[in-house]
Amino acid sequence: MWRDTRLVVLTSVIAAIHAAALIPFKPIVILPGVTEVRPGMVLPIVFSILFGPAAAWGTAIGNTMGDMFGSLGPGTLFGFLGNLLYGFIPYRVWEVWRGGAPDFRRVTGWAVYLLAALASSAACALAIGWGIHLLRLFPFVTTAGIILVNNLLVGLLLGPPLLVALYPRVARMNLLYRDLSDESLTSHTEGRKRMTRVISRGAGLAVAAAGISGIAAGYLAAASGGTDTAITAAAGPFLLAVLLASLLL
């Protein structure tokens, strides 16, 4: 996407909007230096389905900009990674399982959206929670749990109405990622397309499973009285699985 000036500009706009949605809530701190109340975290899921990779980079950059207003620190690096995943996974899950305009009048529309929200929220929570715990800033169970619940709740409650309202307008302006990118020009045989879709669908399920399993592993290690090193080691392989599966999306 970095070859297209329009997508680079769109990334900048998304970053600015995301930062603007986060900054007003900076005083409502949940974990000092790490996170606060974030209703604006619905935007990455919505923007991801609309704008694809531009939303991923915009979300990661926008989160970093927001951190400059009170929570900038070593954890920002893991925040960048977590938000990059959070802004990328919904786009790919939606594309390989459904694609096109969101339709929440059918169960399938809700099911795919739920998978996209769950996979991205869990991946984001696992990446940031693991990194913050590795830095010894806050316990894994606290950080990962708060991020997972916040992202999933706002995504499920606010995401569908925003998508229904924005998708047709963005489509009419030809600003959807498929309109701006040259992916449609790529030549593949039908057999290769089907195989790629099967792999990508499996990767989407794997991201969701690995993300939830990684958070559960961290919680179990903490509940059993494990040391900080044991908790990091328990969740680490699942984070690696999330990253590898995301590459296959």
Whether 44 maps to a domain, the answer reads yes
CA distance 153 to 214: 19
pLDDT at 79 over 70: yes
As for how many domains the chain has, the answer is 1
Measured CA to CA, the distance from residue 168 to residue 242 in angstroms comes to 32
pLDDT at 248: 94
Mean pLDDT, rounded, of the chain: 89
Tell me the pLDDT band of 197, cut-offs 50, 70 and 90: confident
Note whether residue 196 is domain-resident.
Answer: no
Q: Is residue 26 situated within a structural domain?
A: yes
Look at 65-79, 103-117, 196-210, 219-233 and tell me which has the smallest mean pLDDT. Answer: 65-79
User: What percentage of the chain exceeds 70 in pLDDT?
Assistant: 90
The tokens describing 107, both together, are 């169960």
Residue 223 reports pLDDT greater than 80? yes
Q: What pLDDT is stored for residue 21 in this prediction?
A: 87
Would 138 be classed as within a structural domain?
yes
**In this predicted structure, what is the pLDDT of residue 36?**
57
Asked if residue 207 has pLDDT above 50, the reply is yes
At 189, is the pLDDT very low, low, confident or very high (cuts 50, 70, 90)?
low
Decide: 37 and 28 in contact? Cβ < 8 Å: yes
Domain assignment present for residue 86? The answer is yes
Mean pLDDT of 161-165: 94
Determine, yes or no, domain membership for 236: no
Calculate the CA dihedral of residues 108, 113, 115, 119 and round it to 10 degrees. Answer: 170
Q: Is 50 exceeded by the pLDDT of residue 185?
A: no
**Burial tier of 33 (Cβ tally within 10 Å: 0-12, 13-18, 19+):** middle
What would the two tokens of residue 130 be? 């693991």
* pLDDT tens digits, one per residue of 15-74: 999 999 887 766 665 666 556 567 778 899 999 999 999 999 999 999 999 888 877 788
* pLDDT over threshold 90, residue 1: no
Segment 95-153, tens digit of pLDDT: 999 888 888 988 999 999 999 999 999 999 999 999 999 999 889 999 999 999 999 99
pLDDT of residue 111: 95
Question: How far apart (Å, rounded) are the C-alpha atoms in residues 36 and 29?
Answer: 4
Sequence-distant (≥ 6) Cβ neighbours of residue 126 within 8 angstroms: 82, 144, 210, 211, 214, 215, 235, 238, 239, 242
170 is a domain residue = yes
Domain membership flag for residue 152: yes
Domain that holds residue 158: 5-185
Q: Please name which of 82, 79, 50 lies closest in space to residue 64, comparing C-alpha atoms.
A: 79
The CATH number assigned to the domain holding 20 equals: 1.10.1760.20
Q: Which of 49-53, 88-92, 177-181 has the lowest mean pLDDT?
A: 177-181
